[in-house]
Chains A and B, each alone.
Chain A
Amino acid sequence: MAYISNKYNNSFGSVVSALTKGMKLTLKHFFNAGKRHEATYVNDKNYFNQTEGLVTLTYPYEAIPVPEIGRYRLHNEIDDCIVCDLCAKICPVNCIEIESIKATEDIGLTSDGTKKRLYAATFNIDLAKCCYCGLCTTVCPTDCLTMTKVYDFPETDVKNMIYHFTDLSPEQAQEKKQKFEKQQEELTAAKAAAIRAKQNEKKS
């Protein structure tokens, strides 16, 4: 049987030394198994210097820190939201659904001093549709819509991927709506009365 010539040294000594080298390597790793790689962020000084020890992370218990500016799950701080609808307009995949009601009374300020004029009857973000581009957070005038560090939020039902951020219950929303409609009616009535009064004045 003709052997294919190879570039390796097949002498007994070199084969044995190569085999021992391999065994030593695995043994070294075995004895270093007491050490663990630390779950540090990539800009950590030691990140590329950890050459020994186990690399596995027991994920739900440990995790590598995510970047400060990472783009993960969205969160809307509804108290600071002025329901301007900018986020819904910029969203490339239309995953934000907003329905607003004009407030009939003064409903206060956001934490940065902007006056709130609208209630959010619906403020839903469908994170199953979200493409995590972060455009909505850049357009948000009050910085109430932000991306958090949470990236692990699986659900067994896709419906649960729709996050509801409104602080109004449907009944409350209904009530606000009726109040607004009533105010509108009163306003129109007042306007009509004013016009009528003006016309009457002209006639007389």
Chain B
Amino acid sequence: MPQNYRFFMLAVILCIFFLLMVVVPVVYAERKVAAFMQDRLGPTEAGPHGILQPLLDVLKLLEKEDIIPANADKKLFAYAPVVIFAAVLAGFAVIPISPNIISSGAYLGVFYLLAIISLDIIGLLMAGWGSNNKYAVLGAMRSVGQIVSYEIPAGLAVLSVVMICQSLDFQEISFQQGILMNQFAGLENETNYLFGLKALGIDVTNIGGITTWNIVRMPFLFIGFVIYFISSLAECNRAPFDIPEAESELVAGFHIEYSGFRFGALFLAEYSLMVLVSLVAVILFLGSWNTPLPNMGTVTFANWTTGKVGAWSGNLWGIFWLLSKTLLLLYTQIWIRWTYPRLRVDQLMHLCWKVFTPIALALVLLSGIWRLLMI
């Protein structure tokens, strides 16, 4: 057991390190992209083109005094960032990075992920309530209301993918979406048909590329992808669903009283959650770590850009494709944030309950029927 414990700590430290490698550039990109879209320059002073800005921001946060308000509920206040960050970090455990690399190949990965991210809400409530500040409580309540609501359409969209793939294992879902499918234990005899329709009779198992991505295997999953993506924006409190933080109304929402390291943890958790939901969107809908290039006759793009399972080539290509798709989605998140104004609370709830939930329910039904056509 002690050895296991040590291994676990190592995994956590590695995970945080890799997370920082992604999150820090995303923070920088957020500032630069925002600036460019608003015809500004963004950070320019710290390092060439200001690339050291996010690092210096983190350093500044670490230096700052950790202020706990006199009337705050000190225990809740102190542990809320830990709960929030731990919940988000734990989600990364089941994310496959390449055909070989996955921290935990849990059979119930998808279920676990949805469950563990929901823990985030408890942290938000703890932070809001513990701060003993009206803005913080309002922000936390809005946040919880929003996240709980949007988990339903997001969960239903994920459910339709699960029904198409017949698996809750992220790695199995990933393998299904590319030319390596038959190399996964249990999928040796499976066949991918174009649009998933056996009746069409076009075997794309060895063509791979974009033809085997989930949004092509079941074209209506594109709607699912849009629903999931928009809901995920709401789940990470991103604009245009940032009413929990609404700078102009609530100052900063639930994290208004936080400073120093604790604020840094909340900030990091927020950006990590962005990365996590984008990763999940890529894995479930956009072909995971599989290449988008299909094999075309003798020009075997898919084989060239996939590599071998277990070899360096397979891992590097996997990481490359997964990361580039994720970064594209992250860019879209930033792009949306600096384009659209914030939704009103009733518009937010209208969109969730009256638009997304019915469509997602219909999608689940359709996915069930589609699955019958796939076998």
Q: Which residues in B have some Cβ–Cβ distance to A below 8 Å? A: 33, 35-41, 44, 335-336, 338-340, 346
Contacts and interface: CB of A to CB of B under 8 A. Distances in A.
A22 B40 contact: no
Nearest to B350: A1
Given A23-B335, A58-B44, A29 B39 contact: yes
A55 interface: yes
Contact of B41 (A1, A26, A56): A56
A54 B41 contact: yes
A19 interface: yes
A33 B335 contact: no
Given A26-B339, A30-B335, A54-B40, 15 more contacts: A1-B346, A23-B335, A26-B335, A26-B338, A29-B36, A29-B39, A32-B39, A33-B39, A53-B39, A54-B35, A54-B41, A56-B35, A56-B40, A58-B41, A58-B44
Nearest to B36: A33
Contact of A54 (B39, B339, B340): B39
B39 A55 contact: yes
Contacts of B346: 1
A26 to B, nearest CB: 4
20 contacts: A23-B336, A26-B37, A26-B339, A29-B36, A29-B38, A29-B39, A30-B36, A30-B335, A32-B39, A33-B35, A33-B36, A33-B39, A54-B35, A54-B40, A54-B41, A56-B39, A56-B40, A56-B41, A58-B41, A58-B44
Contact of A19 (B35, B39, B340): B340
A27 interface: yes
Chain A CB within 10 A, most for which of B36, B39, B340: B39
Interface string A21-58: 01101110110110000000000000000000111101
Nearest to A28: B37
Nearest to A34: B36
Contact of A27 (B38, B41, B335): B335
A103 to B, nearest CB: 53
* Interface bin, chain A: 10 to 19
Point out which of A30, A32, A53, A58 has the most chain B C-beta atoms below 10 A from its C-beta.
Answer: A30
A26 B37 CA distance: 5
Contacts of A30: 33, 36-37, 335
Interface string A12-25: 00000001001101
A33 B44 CA distance: 14
Nearest to B42: A56
A28 to B, nearest CB: 9
A22 B340 contact: yes
Contacts of B33: 30
Contact of A22 (B35, B38, B41, B339): B339
A29 B41 contact: no
A138 B336 CA distance: 57
A23 B44 CA distance: 26
A140 to B, nearest CB: 42
A55 B33 CA distance: 15
A7 B227 CA distance: 27
B349 to A, nearest CB: 10
Contacts of A22: 339-340
A54 B39 CA distance: 4
A25 B41 contact: no
A56 B336 CA distance: 23
A54 B335 contact: no
Nearest to A27: B335
